[in-house]
Structure 1
Amino acid sequence: MAPPKVSRSVRKDQFPSVLKALKTTAYYDAGRDNRLVTNIRGLAWSPTGNAIATTVSNYIRIWDPDRTKVAQSLELKSGAPGIVEKVAYCPTHEAVLASTAVDGICRLWDARMPGGVAGASKGTKLSEAKVGDTGLFLTWHPSGTELLVGRKDDVVMSVDVRKLGGSEGALGTGWDLEARQIDPLQGRHGKTQLNEMAFSNSGRELLVTTGHGPVEIYDWPSLDYLHTLTAHNSAAYSVRHSPAGSFIAAGSGDGMVTLWDTTHWHCAHTMMAHTGPVRDLSFSYDGAYIACGSGGDTKESSTGIEISHVDTGERVHTIDTVAPASWIAWHPLRYWLAYAGETGGLRIVGAGSST
């Protein structure tokens, strides 16, 4: 199979006109255009961008971005009544998807679409592990052999993934999941509210948001405390490492996004992204741009998706939305931007284009 094509990077002065020309495609989780679709609580692109997964109530919906009909999507049902909170694709395996839910179970799924064509299906559950309480977030280690699940009670579980793949790329059935509680993170603030974690690109550091506002950095896997980014005065909700590794971005309840230079460890840019909390961040595939989403269970959330140029911190474009877009994600190889939280479900800006 030929490697997927990567789109050409676009200069800052050209970027607004390029994005304005892109069409927004809607994906409705119903047989008709249902404007009252159940709230999506998370979304994730596959490593190549050939599929995108969303959480809808107690199941997962996987879309081919080129196919908008729900009959052409893949549905994964766990059989449990609880809401699915988050999904994340394995970074080293296109077809493996992890999910966490209010029932306290982390699941691994075979998320392949039969014959390369989407279709109604319950999918295949590869394995599961009990994490003990509602899983609010999850993040894969870059190696694809471990993922962290953050529980509602601010306990973090490490899920060790051992796979015994079959022949000719088959996933096989020998997936073994083992969950263990990791040692409490004791940075400058001691035990704190944990809203999200992210590994650095190398997997040697763990970036941790705190309820106090700073982002704490720990060595992995020793969990030795390394550094604090004094990012915000209110709770930090999101954190990301840029694709090239030059910046760490943090978003918080004060509506601000801070960009930190990882060479000198100073705050390179501070951007007012929203009037409400910044719930989600996403770097474009080339690391040149960052998008910010605002939403969640707060009346202060603002509409629109703000996109800024990373090197300068300048706002270059705003995608208008009729309601807050809580969850956003750039395509891993193109300037396509997926978002959810707006009434009507999943939308992708640029789907089907060569940009």
Structure 2
Amino acid sequence: MAGGGSSSGGGGLKNLHSREYQGHKKKVHSVAWNCLGTKLASGSVDQTARVWDLHSGSTSKNKDSGAGAGVGVTELKGHSDSVDQLCWDPKHADLLATASGDKSVRLWDARSGKCSQQAELSGENINITYKPDATHVAVGNRDDELTILDVRKFKPIHKRKFNYEVNEIAWNMTGDMFFLTTGNGTVEVLAYPSLRAVDTLTAHTAGCYCIAIDPLGRYFAVGSADSLVSLWDISEMLCVRTFTKLEWPVRTISFNHTGEFIASASEDLFIDISNVQTGRSVHQIPCRAAMNSVEWNPKYNLLAYAGDDKNKYQTDEGVFRIFGFESA
């Protein structure tokens, strides 16, 4: 399943293609890989999440033999509104968390498809992320409120309402720092667990929408409404470069497993893959609609992506795709 070449120029990406996975009834808002890179979860406006076991069948050889070949799918049902974001337990390959507009957060076991824990929060949830040691989950809602849940008891241990727009949220690799991207174009850096303000980084000239942490712990990247992606040295808290290929607000970004590439997507009809060190674009994946979510596999050069795809009747296709397959 060794997707993609890893030449530093990215030339190995040119000969790869995407495979489509169908199953949701409405558009897919979020895609995420488990910690082993063997399963992918997708969350949709159709109020369900799905877990796709990509390790079975021909997929493990990374050869294309038709969409969905040898893929097992588990449907996670229970939410009564859109599943806007989901994330996997960083230490357990079968546990994941979902955040929904129905104000609830749920923990699931992908093996049984059953919800194991549920918390009712105060607003429509739009962001969720695990602490790297898997002990806490952070949830952000449309009312700019942050809730931190203890995973074991699944009860809130911190709650904070902000007086500015809070978008995506992330912990650093060691879990002692917490980042908030804001509508003011700043990244707020908080100490964890105290949530004491440590720094305000003036990152962009417009709202910051998304954030990703480099898997090697060197950088974090921020995507903004100004169509730029900025790359920050995490130890110095300094911007080291920007990526300028997109022309629309950046909705979603992801580092690959080696920290060599960064993928970014927006309403532009392509996903840009750039070299982190040079800032140069090495490949662009064409797409037919605005993208909602991109995420690299934690072990291979396989990029999952999902957006607002519609069919010829202008209804949601409910698909996601994975880029990085070699031709059979």
TM interval, shorter chain, is: 0.7 to 0.9
Counterpart position of 1:167? none
CA contact (8 A) 2:144 2:161 kept: no
Within the candidate set 149, 161, 165, 2:139 is matched to 149
CA distance in 2, matches of 1:26, 1:98: 24
Within the candidate set 170, 175, 178, 2:155 is matched to 178
**Correspondence list, 1:41-190, <5 A:** 41-56=29-44, 57-65=46-54, 66=59, 68=68, 72-78=72-78, 80-112=79-111, 123-162=113-152, 176-184=153-161
1:313 aligns with 2:313: no
Query: Cα deviations across residues 284-313 of structure 1 (Å, max 9, x unaligned)?
Result: 00001100011xxxxxx2110011111111
CA distance in 2, matches of 1:277, 1:335: 25
Please identify, of 237-246 and 59-68, the stretch whose mean Cα deviation from structure 2 is larger. Answer: 59-68
CA distance in 2, matches of 1:215, 1:195: 10
Greater fraction of residues in strand: 2
Q: 1:153 to 1:112 in 2, by over 3 A?
A: same
1:269 aligns with 2:246: no
Shift in Å at residue 126 of structure 1?
0.5
Find the residue that maps to 2:291 and give its secondary structure: coil
- Report percent identity of matched pairs: 32
1:24 aligns with 2:23: no
Larger RCO, structure (CA 8 Å, separation 6 or more): 2
Shift in Å at residue 71 of structure 1?
8.4
Shift in Å at residue 247 of structure 1?
1.2
CA contact (8 A) 1:27 1:70 kept: no
Counterpart position of 2:7? 11
Shift in Å at residue 9 of structure 1?
7.3
Q: 1:72 to 1:265 in 2, by over 3 A?
A: closer
Q: 1:353 to 1:70 in 2, by over 3 A?
A: closer
Query: Cα deviations across residues 168-193 of structure 1 (Å, max 9, x unaligned)?
Result: xxxxxxxx3112442446xxxxx210
What are the ranges of 5 or more consecutive residues in structure 2 without an aligned counterpart? 60-66, 310-316
Counterpart position of 2:312? none
Shift in Å at residue 262 of structure 1?
2.5
Counterpart position of 1:222? 194
Find the residue that maps to 1:243 and give its secondary structure: coil
Amino acid at match of 2:174: S
Counterpart position of 1:120? none
**Correspondence list, 1:191-206, <5 A:** 191-206=163-178
CA contact (8 A) 2:32 2:42 kept: yes
Q: 1:127 to 1:263 in 2, by over 3 A?
A: closer
Counterpart position of 2:229? 257
Q: 1:274 to 1:7 in 2, by over 3 A?
A: closer
Counterpart position of 1:350? 324
CA distance in 1, matches of 2:246, 2:200: 24
CA distance in 1, matches of 2:71, 2:208: 38
Amino acid at match of 1:152: R
Equivalent pairs counted in the alignment come to 308
Query: Cα deviations across residues 245-300 of structure 1 (Å, max 9, x unaligned)?
Result: 21110001111000112343321111213211111110000001100011xxxxxx
CA distance in 2, matches of 1:304, 1:138: 26
CA distance in 2, matches of 1:233, 1:322: 28
CA distance in 1, matches of 2:258, 2:201: 24
User: Which TM-score applies when normalising by structure 2?
Assistant: 0.88
CA distance in 2, matches of 1:221, 1:353: 48
CA contact (8 A) 2:246 2:268 kept: yes
User: Which TM-score applies when normalising by structure 1?
Assistant: 0.82
What's the Cα RMSD here?
Answer: 2.2
CA contact (8 A) 1:251 1:278 kept: yes
